[in-house]
Structures are given as C-alpha cells and as structure tokens.
Amino acid sequence: MQWRIGEILVREKLINWVQLEEALDEQSHTRELTGMILVRKGFISWGLLYRSLARQNRMRFVDLERTHINPEALAKVPATMARKLGILPVEIRDDVLTIAVPGPFHVWADNELKETAGIAKVCAVLALPRDIERAIKLHYPTGQPEKIVSR
C-alpha cells in the first residue's frame, strides 16, 4: 500500500490532521491537488512537500540551490533537449546519468536521452520545478544552445 501524501505529511509531523482535513475538504470542491492546497494555505513549504513526494515515490530529492552540478553531466545533454524535456543533468558516474525532474511522474524520452548522452542508464531525482528552470537558464545560456557554462 502506498501512503497518500497527506498521510505522509501528518505521519512526519509536518502538518496536523486538522490542516489535512481542511485541505481535503477544499479539494472536494476545487479538485486541486492536496499538496498544492497545503502550500497555498501556508501549512507547508514547496521544499518540504517535494521532499515528502520524493519519499512517497522512493526517489531522492535534491536541492539544486545547494547541489554542485557536474559540468561533465551538463555536457552530455544539449540545452535544447534539457529545455524540451524539462530536466537538468546533475551528475554522471559509472555510465549512469543522474537527472533532476520536476515531478515523480515526469516523462522523458529515456532511450533518446541515453543515446544522445552516450550512457547506459538514467537515474531520476526529484527537484523543485522552479529550481530546474533557474538552473537550466544558468547553465545553458539563451542564444548559445549547445554551450555549457560551469559555475
């Protein structure tokens, strides 16, 4: 059985049952995702929500503002592909490319990515969508789609 995100947040004492019930009541009217309601109401931050989503989906969470982005990983994926797929190459080790994705069910072209990068395996980690967008802009300057800037 997979726990629902609200139950995980309560179990980890990040929110309480009253807050969850309030969000679920609102969700029944708006059809908005529970986590989004909890963030909008100020009960939890985006970072804590995404860390919990990562745990729920047995993924690792990375804070891109505090993570060193390996220039070798960036060099494996052209800027046009990173932008198109909404991913950020983070690390490469032992023929495994680690990419940051903006959601646990984010879809990317696995075979195309492996072929382009010339690697055997792709491993996904979860990161905040806004952090991925910022990092793509930082590491792949606009107007120079295939040039990588190491910071």
In a shared domain, residues 51 and 75: no
Kindly state whether residue 96 falls inside one of the protein's structural domains. yes
Kindly state whether residue 147 falls inside one of the protein's structural domains. no
pTM of the model: 0.84
In a shared domain, residues 82 and 34: no
Q: Which domain, by its residues, includes 10?
A: 5-56
3-state secondary structure of 24: helix
- Number of domains the chain contains: 2
Kindly state whether residue 146 falls inside one of the protein's structural domains. no
In a shared domain, residues 34 and 87: no
Q: pLDDT for 25-79, tens place per residue?
A: 999 999 999 999 999 999 999 999 999 999 999 999 999 999 999 999 999 999 9
In a shared domain, residues 87 and 110: yes
In angstroms, the CA 43 to CA 23 distance is: 10
